[in-house]
Amino acid sequence: MGVTQSLIFLLSFQLLHLIKGSTVWLNENGYEDLVVAINPQVPEDANIILNTMNMIKNASNSLFEMTKHRFFFKSVKIIIPKTWKKNTNYSRIKTESYDQADVIIADYYMKYVDDPYTLLYEGCKMKGRYIHFTPNFLLNENLTNVYGEKGRVFVHEWTHFRWGVFDEYSRDVPFYVSEKATIEATSCPAGVTGIPVFQDCRGDICKPRSCRYDGQLYEKGCVFIPDIHQNISCSIMYMQYARPVVEFCDQNTHNSEAPNMQNKICNHKSTWEVIMESDDFRNSAVLNTSAPPSEPTFSLLQAQERVICLVLDISGSMRMHNRMENLRTAAETYLLHDIETGSWVGIVTFDSDATERAHLQQITNDETRQKLVQLLPIIPSGLTNICAGIHKGLKVIANKMNTTYGSEIVLLTDGEDPGIPACFNLVKQSGTKIHTIALGPQADKKLEELSELTGGLKLSAPDGVVPSKLTEVFSAITSGNGDISEQSIQLESKELAVQHSAWMNTTVPVDKTVGNDTFFSIAWNLSQPFFFLRDPKGKEYGSSDFIIDNSNPYTARLRINGTAEVGDWQLYIKNVHPATQGISVTATSRPAYYDVAPVIAAAHMNRANTAFNPVVVYAEVSQGFWPVLGATVTATIEKDDGTAVTLELLDNGAGADVMKNDGIYSRYFTSLQGTGRYSLKVKSHGRNATTRLSLQRNQASYNSGYRENGKIYVTAPRPEFADEELQVQLGSFSRISTGSFVVNTGDPAPAYPPCKVTDLHARIENRTIVLSWTAPGGDFDNGKADHYIIKTSENLLDLRNNFDRATSVKCSDLIPKEAGREESFEIQPENKAGNGTKIYFAIRAVDDNNLISEVSNIAQTTWFLPLKAFAPLNHQGNTNGANTAVIVAVTALCVAVVCTIVNSTLCLFSKKKGRLEIEKMQRHV
């Protein structure tokens, strides 16, 4: 009793200084608790902190103006890496962490890449994962010339992140043919004046020239150079660097024709319309002030060594279904191989009461790990008192650290405890992040609330005869400090029921980015099988090379000394037991190099913001911050009663996948089986192929230059990379990632319609219109639709808003293919449209239950060709196109200076007595 009272007193004292978790919330029009985190590999520089603060201060003013006096930033927390020097101005971190930050400051791992961007997994109106800035973007004032004032850049990214809108410019399609049969820049609003320019660069020499007209549009590589003085205000989601930029495009100014991602993904709605439909807008009102009521306040928090306590259920129900044996094996693996060196670890067990089994101690070597393993529980008994375990875990942490701020608890239970709500206030006050693991189908339904209150992971594992599923769950609980070089990466996790005398052979690829501290583990449930491991060079490791602990005779482990050989490791296992038994294999490793980012995979499940609110499975595969393309990604979703479904996730820009080739692999999950917990396991792998990296999407637009008084001021072209720079020879790689999802609704599994077609495309070939798209399924993106409905119109918005009344296209002979296959359909127009006529198409899919998909994205094509190629871009009465400026060669010196962005010099091209005139852009910005 005295111990509990002392702990509550300590936590009550801490509450006075407690800052909430990293989830941003709106408080009287002001955003509170925005979390910015600096990557541990970023060299210490106080100017990063100072410039970040100034950027957000300026962003607050800009946001307030652009949202018509509605939103601003109130409070911000900046996480300083533990690698930076300690400072009395830095407070101790609480439940905030790098991996859950709203804004990340980190290098790209490739030169000359400083594009600010926002990572978006999901569709329109859905919040992003994080905003990313490089240290160089914050420190190099010259980058203002190409991205604009930093506060406005932040507002551009915040709009992506908070409200789920998309860019109004397009690097891929910078020009389009309008309904007036004129070529326009892809902009918002329409009517931005400027000139098309092509920079023909060979080596260090660039020769800007007029853009060639290819019969439909300008040649690939042609960019739009806007006039520095515009008669209209540009939207910040189009050109955040332009002046004036004081608003978002709204219903009146939105350019619904522009072929940009905002129109494609948000169904041709303006940015401001999307914002108006957000919870933020509904929960706020216009403020009658000319400026934000207050400036943002900043708290500087510094990360510390990891402090974690395992709080493990040993009640009587843990005797069932091999739960205690599986817990011991999974916790062993976690302590021996997964948890980072330097972490502080304690162990608490609970039944009807709680016991401290291991006081908090720092992991400095293998001996410390082994001592902790020996203190893991063996014998279950008693009832379940979850709050007792939490109290004891917090006490173990406080006894050593004199605070529970910034610590973690891993809480595992299989039982129910009606008393859980009694400790909700305690955990909220603690500043401790609680990761919950629900083992089996009977774990308390309120368990996840402990994670929600503290920002911890919500995980679950079904029962099994071998511990692999529980081991996968434990492996997901890594340090959230952003230093991936310290973390364990799961390469393989596999289990099978193996018959007598049958073999279970497994290939575990070790790629170039991992190999340190590599472990192999084999587990069985009846008797030891025969097994051996062969490395890529043919060296074999027999069962005598593995370690089998007397306290856990059902698991064999092998640690590879030094850095493991790159290539395929072959594991051969034969079941010599007279009966069928369960056998599992687990392999983990750590990054091979501190300064080379490993390939990682992250799994995630969420409800889609569409009709029926289906569950979507996501897997992000990346190397550092670069998306990895071309991987084979499969997801296994298993309900807590053991029923499993396997899906192939795709990065094809169709179905559940929002953007093609962004390294985020997605699929709808339509096999819901009622209420309960669903565990997710994702395997990502590539086999002896070149892995292609990709630039991130949803970026701040890059300033290609401007025109003023007939002169064209052109920046260096945006850094582009040759194919070999974006291709990485990783060999074969494999990654395992896990997640969890809880279904609380009591409704039976619904009947789903086909998913919306999102990649409909139209083109003209030999006077025939060809439509192409990716086939949806009968149930979203699974199975096969029954038939299609295709409509056409010469008015885009009429087709969007009145699909059923639009002109039908005969397509009764078109039989839908399996979901994910490419569809193609040719149309022979009966009536030839006039020269330059825009024609729009949309499609809906119907399943065999007559359920109909949403209307597709709207595809457009132009019948015949426009008569004029350039004049509509110059709205100042000058129709002689590129003749407003004569473009000449750029010296190598100018290009080198600009490309490295060391100097803010830009090159001015004008025909002036045959001379090249060079001026500095800062004079005009």
Q: Which one-letter amino acid corresponds to residue 759?
A: D
The 8-class DSSP code of residue 338 comes to I
How far are the Cα atoms of 57, 500, 565, 571 from residue 529, in angstroms, in the given order?
64, 10, 26, 12
Orientation of helix 2-15 relative to helix 386-401, angle to 10°: 70
Residues 225, 124: Cα–Cα separation, whole Å: 29
Contact 256, 245 (CB under 8 A): no
Quick one: which of 784, 839, 697 has its CA closest to 265?
697
The string of DSSP letters for 619-632 reads EEEEETTEEEES-E
Which value, in Å, is the radius of gyration of the alpha carbons in the chain? 30
What whole-number distance in Å separates Cα of residue 773 and Cα of residue 814? 13
What token pair was written down for 313?
């259920």
Q: Which residue has tokens 């900043």?
A: 298
Catalytic residues, by residue number, are 157
Indicate the residue type of 313. Answer: D
User: 509, 32, 471: which is closest to 294 by C-alpha?
Assistant: 32
Task: Tell me how far apart the alpha carbons of residues 258 and 263 are, in angstroms, rounded to a whole number.
Answer: 7
Query: Which residue in this structure is represented by tokens 């018509």?
Result: 68
Strand partners, 262: none
CA-angle at 261, arms to 259 and 264, nearest 5°: 75
Whole-number Å distance between alpha carbons of 224 and 195: 6
Mapping DSSP onto H, E and C, the string for 69-118 reads CCCEECEEEEEECCCCCCCCCCEECCCCCHHHCCEEECCCCCCCCCCCEE
Distance of CA 833 to the CA centre of its chain: 44
CA-based nearest residue to 899, from 722, 723, 720, 727: 720
DSSP codes, 248-284? ---TTT--TTS-SHHHHHTTT--HHHHHHTSHHHHT-
Tokens of 243: 């002046």
Q: Identify any residues that bridge with 430 across adjacent strands, giving them in sequence order.
A: none
Residues 6+ apart with CB under 8 A from 672: 615, 743, 749, 750
Asked if 218 and 148 count as a contact pair (C-beta separation under 8 A), the reply is no
- Residue from 601, 612, 757 nearest 665 by CA: 601
Q: How far is 261 from 169, CA to CA, in rounded Å?
A: 8
Q: Which of 461, 517, 458 is CA-nearest to residue 336?
A: 517
E-assigned strands of 511-566?
514-524, 530-534, 540-542, 555-563
Task: Decide: 232 and 189 in contact? Cβ < 8 Å.
Answer: yes
With contact defined as beta carbons under 8 Å apart, do 372 and 412 qualify?
no
Asked if residues 249 and 257 have their Cβ atoms less than 8 Å apart, the reply is: no
Would you list the DSSP string of 677-729? EEEEEEEEEE-SSPEEE---SSBPPP--EEEETTEEEEPPPPP---GGGSEE-
Kindly report the length of the chain: 925
**369 within 8 A of 347, measured Cβ to Cβ:** no
Largest Cα–Cα distance of the chain, in whole Å? Answer: 95
Measured CA distances, 553 to 159, 377, 500, 873 (Å): 55, 15, 20, 77
- Going by C-alpha positions, the residue among 686, 608, 668, 680 that lies closest to residue 639 is 680
Closest CA to 124 of 267, 4, 338, 305: 267
Residue 881 DSSP SS3? helix
